[in-house]
Amino acid sequence: MRRLPPVEIFIVVLSAIFLFVGWRVYGGLHPVAGLNHAQRAPSQLYARLTIRYPKPPIYEEQYDMQDVEGVSKFQYRIRSFSCRQITIKSPPGKIYDVSFFFGGLDQDGIWQMVDLPPRPQPDAYYSVYVKQLADFKQGERTVTFTNPEYWATHSPQQRFSLDLSKPHASDLVRMQSVSPDTRYEKVVDDFRTFGPDEFRHNVAAAQARARTSGCK
């Protein structure tokens, strides 16, 4: 029987060690541990729009959505100056994924929106709250503003720049308008148009009741 040279024995042993280590790293513990980590990662999404009116007949509207561990719930509440509160909940047995709605808010720029100063004599005051907990990362934001349709056609702010190359003092400071911001109107529309037909029909009926005197 031919004996292997020491160099060949060393190569065989070294190859066996690499195979064992590779199995432990890539075929053994790590993928299972990563899968268990993903399964334990919490997933919670919350979104709420509150609209408060300074004048009758409606005092306040509120859309409230959540998705916790894949289970979606949503409701609408309206209060008037002269009647009891009316609450519309998600229809039983209906599946409507709030996570897709939350993705729409993200796409429409909810995380980049900032508070805007109220316009003179606004028709309503808007407050949007969002909270996200996913993959052990958390973020939340509250944004307040008025007149979202106004900001969709007007600049929410103006920037001033200093140009030292100009010889005249009147030309030193230049005012630049920033483009109109449609995100506020889009986000409000996202809430207004959310839900299956039955839910939105019930919301419209509640709004009609709140506008009538007595709200019986």
Mean predicted confidence (pLDDT) in 177-197: 91
Instruction: Count Cβ atoms below 10 Å from residue 196 Cβ, excluding itself.
Output: 12
**pLDDT tens digit string along 108-159?**
999 999 999 999 999 999 999 999 998 777 999 999 999 999 999 987 665 4
CA 31 to the chain's CA centroid: 31
Mean of pLDDT over the chain: 80
Copy the structure tokens of residue 159: 């920037």
Q: Is the pTM of this model over 0.85?
A: no
Quote the tokens at residue 184.
């506020």
Residue-range domains of the chain with CATH = 43-153+181-211 (3.30.1560)
Mean pLDDT of the 163-186 span? 65
Partner residues linked to 100 by β-bridges: none
Strands (E), 81-208: 86-89, 125-134, 137-146, 158-162, 173-177
**Position with higher pLDDT, 164 vs 144:** 144
Sorting pLDDT into bands at 50, 70 and 90, what band is 97? confident
